[in-house]
């Protein structure tokens, strides 16, 4: 290290740092891709819904919600609960043949 470099990096100063909220939002965004609500970030194409993959993302988020209960800040808990609820409602809507994308998406806003 140089004399000018800090001994540690503050995650708040590093925009590429992984945070719990960022991680949860990335899983929710992946679910939105699988619902066909947002374009795939790699291809730029909006694919038709792939419900098994969307359900897997919902199940992962629900598992995280269960396993982190009591260890989250109020903001993290509220975000996770809301995302799981919204994604479950979206799953029901898409599985019943609902519209391809809600207007506007309540799940992920860029």
DSSP string, 28-96: HHHHHHHHTSS--TTT-PPPPP-HHHHHHHHHHHHHHHHHTTTSS-HHHHHHHHHHHHHHHHHHHHHHT
Inter-residue contact 88 to 59 (CB < 8 Å): no
User: Per-residue pLDDT for 41 more than 50?
Assistant: yes
- Sequence-separated (6 or more) residues with CB below 8 Å from residue 30: 57
User: Per-residue pLDDT for 91 more than 90?
Assistant: yes
Residue 59 and residue 62: Cα distance in Å, rounded?
5
Higher pLDDT, 4 or 29: 29
Residues in the chain: 110
Mean pLDDT over 58-87 rounds to: 97
pTM value surpassing 0.85: no
User: Per-residue pLDDT for 83 more than 60?
Assistant: yes
């Amino acid at each position: 290290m140089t004399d000018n470099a800090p001994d540690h990096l503050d995650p708040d100063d590093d925009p590429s740092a992984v945070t719990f909220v960022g991680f949860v939002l990335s899983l929710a965004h992946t679910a939105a891709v699988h619902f066909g609500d947002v374009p795939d970030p790699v291809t730029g194409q909006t694919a038709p819904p792939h419900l098994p993959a969307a359900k897997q993302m919902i199940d992962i988020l629900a598992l995280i919600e269960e396993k982190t209960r009591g260890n989250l800040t109020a903001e993290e808990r509220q975000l996770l609960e809301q995302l799981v609820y919204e994604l479950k409602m979206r799953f029901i809507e898409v599985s019943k043949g609902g519209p391809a994308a809600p207007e506007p998406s309540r799940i992920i806003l860029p």
